[in-house]
Amino acid sequence: MTSTAGRRLRGRAAGKRGGKRKARATAKRRARAKVRASRPKQKPKRTPKARSRARRTARTRATKRATGAAHTRGAKRATGAARKARPRLEAVAGKKRRAARPAPPPAFPQTAGASARSQLMFRMVKARASVLAAVQGMSAATAERPLGEGKWTVRETILHLVARDRARLREMEAALRGIRPSWDGLDPALQAQVNEEDLVPLRAQSWEDAQRLLLTTRQDLMEAVESIPEDPAEVWGEEHPLGWMFQRLPAHDLHHADIIKRWRTEQGA
């Protein structure tokens, strides 16, 4: 009895423990089910079959090849058409550019619309500036060196320019009345003799005095030219004695300025 009752008690205790375990397991399953039910449902992933994946890959490659070939043919056609049209387009564009290009401004806009006298005075100033630039910074010793065998020195050349300004100051009133200048028509040998005679009273001037006379004599000449009326304009033309006398003066200055510049470059003076 005793053993049988003990077995029964132990069986009941084991049944209770098993029932508790079952209850706990059931509670866990229900909790997990609630958690899963509260989550959003997701569609199950479909794994494509090997055969269908290969088919899709082959179809995609074929589509790309066909599209690329069509694109290449279209690009070649477009390139060919562009090459054919390029010469005409470039020609048209060139015409447009040439037509739209503005005219270059004048070299010296301040002379535009100026009178013949004003233009002459501007040329005289510009040419004399070239002479001053040619002797800029030259020492007295360098100015005493001849420009060549049997040639004047730089100082004598500057005094020669002073003499030619003085000759115009002497004869400009006569030229204004229509009398030809005294040196008009002289041959080179006779002109060289006249130049030497005009240089005699100036030859003793120092280098500093020569530079000073170059400025003051030209200033007197410019004031004299400005005192002559601008009209009639024919007075300042090559045909009139006054115009003939002054039109040659800028070129004369530039001629001697170029000689001095070349000499300084060759001699390193």
pLDDT at 6: 63
Reduced to 3 states (helix: H, G, I; strand: E, B; else coil), residue 146 is strand
Tokens 């390139």 correspond to what residue?
79
Cα separation, 122 vs 129, whole angstroms: 11
Q: Is 124 left (phi over 0), alpha (psi -120 to 50) or beta?
A: alpha
Task: Break the chain into its structural domains and give their ranges.
Answer: 62-97, 116-267
Q: What's the one-letter identity of residue 214?
A: L
Q: Give the chain's residues under pLDDT 50.
A: 1, 89
pLDDT at 34: 73
- pTM, two decimals, is 0.60
pLDDT digits (tens, 9 = 90+) for 102-115: 665 555 555 667 89
pLDDT at 218: 97
CATH code at 116-267 = 1.20.120.450
pLDDT at 1: 47
Q: 263 and 147 in contact (C-beta within 8 Å)? A: yes
